């Protein structure tokens, strides 16, 4: 998931900084002034969890709560990446906050919280009336798909509890959340997704690989057992190269999986 990662830049060195003045109280201070990487003071404070400073800045009439850096990151998005629950909570209370503003890669704050497994931050977003639980990046990745890929079971469980979540949304490579989890061997997440009544058990990616093929090829024995127990699984489904799940396991010497599919 490196294509979504936003590095947290170092705090800039401020020339002429003195201890005898309070920046937020100065008459002509520019509180939205972009520093290194185009980030504002609010962005720096939010991503580092400085709740008291964030509260001070948010109280300023002309603060831009949705200001974006060079890579499109807002203060809310940066705080979400870092799992800063306190500053995320404060920003979400601001009357002008846009909870779904995306960065240049199309990733929303909720997507980043899901990707990094920040359950407390995720729950704050899911409780917000304006959040889009299915917001997708330019690569077609959703909060559910990135959480599934990284094996964040509690995050996946929270997202699945949302009324309008789309469980079979595919990425640009054709992979659904279930296929992502199966390919990575995340047994608990696969089990959760399989329990959803509308789950697509035979989802294919752009190469024609199914989740059973992905799990078999990678040697994820427990995932293969779960998939084989599903009544709608297609064990003979071939990809674009004519390979079936059994051949994927055989090509990589996964003997236990070969025996499971040979019964």
Whole-number percent of the chain with pLDDT over 70: 89
For residue 17, which phi and psi values (nearest 5 degrees)? -75, 130
pLDDT for 230 equals: 92
**Average per-residue pLDDT in the chain?**
90
pLDDT for 10 equals: 54
The tokens 């002509």 sit on which residue?
28
pLDDT for 258 equals: 87
Model confidence band, residue 37 (pLDDT cutoffs 50, 70, 90): confident
pLDDT tens sequence across 11-26: 454 444 444 445 555 6
Q: Which residues contact 54 (CB under 8 A, 6 or more apart)?
A: 42, 45, 46, 75, 87, 90, 91
Stretch 146-162: mean pLDDT: 97
CB atoms near residue 253 (< 10 Å): 9
The tokens 């609010």 sit on which residue?
42
Stretch 167-196: mean pLDDT: 97
Stretch 253-261: mean pLDDT: 88
Model confidence band, residue 27 (pLDDT cutoffs 50, 70, 90): low
Q: Which residue has the higher pLDDT, 35 or 112?
A: 112
User: Quick check: 160 pLDDT over 70?
Assistant: yes
Cα radius of gyration (the chain): 22
Model confidence band, residue 123 (pLDDT cutoffs 50, 70, 90): very high
B/e letters for 67-84, b = 16+ CB within 10 Å, e = fewer, are bbbeebbbbbbbbbbbbb
Q: Which residues contact 24 (CB under 8 A, 6 or more apart)?
A: 31, 56, 57, 60
pLDDT for 14 equals: 43
pLDDT tens sequence across 72-88: 999 999 999 999 999 99
Structure tokens at 15: 């020339």
Stretch 162-179: mean pLDDT: 96
Structure tokens at 71: 């890579």
Give the dihedral of Cα atoms 148, 149, 150, 152; nearest 10 deg.
0
User: Quick check: 133 pLDDT over 60?
Assistant: yes
Q: Give the three-class secondary structure for 210.
A: strand
Q: Name the residue among 216, 225, 205, 207 with its Cα closest to residue 245.
A: 216
The tokens 């800063």 sit on which residue?
84
Least confident of 155-164, 243-252, 254-263: 254-263
Rounded Cα gap, residues 76 and 111, in angstroms: 12
Q: Give the three-class secondary structure for 54.
A: helix
Q: What is the pTM of this model?
A: 0.87
Architecture of domain 26-104: Alpha Horseshoe (1.25)
The residue extents of the domains of the chain are 26-104
């Amino acid at each position: 998931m490196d294509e979504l990662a936003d590095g947290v830049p170092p705090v800039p060195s401020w020339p002429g900084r003195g201890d005898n003045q309070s920046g937020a109280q100065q008459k002509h201070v520019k509180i939205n002034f972009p520093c290194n990487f185009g980030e504002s003071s609010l962005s720096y404070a939010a991503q580092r969890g400085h709740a008291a400073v964030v509260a001070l800045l948010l109280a300023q009439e002309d603060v831009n709560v949705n200001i974006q850096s060079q890579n499109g990151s807002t203060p809310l998005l940066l705080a979400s990446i870092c799992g800063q629950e306190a500053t995320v909570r404060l920003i979400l209370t601001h009357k002008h906050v846009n909870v779904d503003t995306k960065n240049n890669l199309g990733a929303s704050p909720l997507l980043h919280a899901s990707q990094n497994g920040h359950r407390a931050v995720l729950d704050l977003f899911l409780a917000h009336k304006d959040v889009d639980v299915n917001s997708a990046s330019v690569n077609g990745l959703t909060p559910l798909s990135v959480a599934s890929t990284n094996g964040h079971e509690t995050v996946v469980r929270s997202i699945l509890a949302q009324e309008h979540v789309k469980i079979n949304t595919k990425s640009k490579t054709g992979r659904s959340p279930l296929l992502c989890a199966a390919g990575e061997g995340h047994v608990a997440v696969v089990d959760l997704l399989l329990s959803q009544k509308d789950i697509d058990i035979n989802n294919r990616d752009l190469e024609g690989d199914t989740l059973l093929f992905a799990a078999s090829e990678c040697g994820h024995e427990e995932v293969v057992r779960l998939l084989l127990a599903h009544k709608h699984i297609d064990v003979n489904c071939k990809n674009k190269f004519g390979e079936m799940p059994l051949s994927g396991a055989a090509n990589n010497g996964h003997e236990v999986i070969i025996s499971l599919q040979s019964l």
